[in-house]
């Protein structure tokens, strides 16, 4: 009988230890749950701030593209006829402006701005300009006739120039025009 009581005492001690460990585990799970909730909240705040920063950076890149195209063509005797604007067509063209030259007439300038410019961006942009639905949407927004199509990039991959020459797309960067575009008939 004493032996059974000894075994019973050991089992009760084990049960007590298990109960203590279970309480500690519940407390740890509660702490972990609170930490995960706080981390989730901080992550959402971080994502919101990062999204805002990304939009500001994108706006800065677009503004630089606008300044670059206006400076370049004003120096060559062109003047804007319309206010530069963004046009949403199957994505967005960041700068669209009608410019006039006393001898060459009127051309639309269509610019898409990127922080980093890769050859695939040139191919995608050229393809976008060839799609009939994009051309139709541009015409519906008053953009028709001849256009000069440019890509602008802060950072430009060295292979971009060759792709742009092949496809007739102009390339602008912080130094100015790297590749002159070929006129595109949008009609």
Tell whether 89 is covered by a domain.
yes
Tell whether 56 is covered by a domain.
no
Tell whether 174 is covered by a domain.
yes
Q: What is the average pLDDT score of the chain?
A: 92
Total tally of structural domains belonging to the chain? 1
Query: In this predicted structure, what is the pLDDT of residue 76?
Result: 96
Tell whether 31 is covered by a domain.
no
> Taking the model in full, what pTM does it have?
0.76
Domain span holding position 68: 61-185
Looking up residue 92, the CATH number of its domain turns out to be 3.40.1350.10
Tell whether 35 is covered by a domain.
no
- How many CA within 13 A on the CB side of residue 77? 6
Read off the pLDDT of residues 95-135 as tens digits, 9 standing for 90 and up: 999 999 999 999 999 999 999 999 999 999 999 999 999 99
Tell whether 163 is covered by a domain.
yes
Torsion of CA 65, 69, 74, 77, to 10 degrees: 180
What's the rounded Cα separation, in Å, for the pair 129 and 150? Answer: 11
Tell whether 44 is covered by a domain.
no
Q: Average pLDDT for residues 168-184, to the nearest whole number?
A: 96
Tell whether 149 is covered by a domain.
yes
What's the rounded Cα separation, in Å, for the pair 151 and 122? Answer: 7
Q: How far is CA 31 from CA 24, 42, 161, in A?
A: 10, 16, 56
What's the rounded Cα separation, in Å, for the pair 86 and 96? Answer: 6
Residues 87, 125, 154: CA angle, nearest 5 degrees: 85
Read off the pLDDT of residues 12-48 as tens digits, 9 standing for 90 and up: 889 889 888 999 999 889 998 998 988 889 889 988 8
């Amino acid at each position: 009988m004493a032996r059974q009581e000894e075994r019973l005492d050991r089992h009760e001690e084990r049960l007590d230890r298990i109960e203590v460990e279970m309480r500690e585990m519940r407390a740890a799970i509660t702490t972990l749950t609170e930490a995960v909730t706080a981390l989730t909240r901080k992550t959402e705040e971080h994502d919101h701030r990062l999204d805002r920063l990304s939009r500001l950076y994108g706006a800065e890149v677009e503004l630089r593209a606008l300044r670059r195209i206006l400076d370049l063509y004003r120096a060559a005797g062109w003047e804007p006829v319309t206010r530069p604007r963004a046009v949403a067509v199957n994505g967005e063209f960041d700068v669209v402006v009608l410019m006039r030259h006393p001898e060459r007439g009127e051309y639309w300038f269509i610019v898409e701005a990127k922080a980093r410019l890769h050859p695939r961006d040139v191919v995608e942009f050229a393809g976008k300009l060839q799609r009939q639905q994009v051309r139709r949407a541009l015409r519906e927004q008053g953009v028709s006739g001849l256009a000069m199509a440019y890509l602008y990039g802060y950072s430009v991959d060295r292979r971009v120039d060759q792709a742009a020459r092949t496809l007739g797309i102009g390339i602008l960067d912080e130094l100015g025009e790297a590749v002159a575009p070929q006129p595109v008939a949008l009609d």
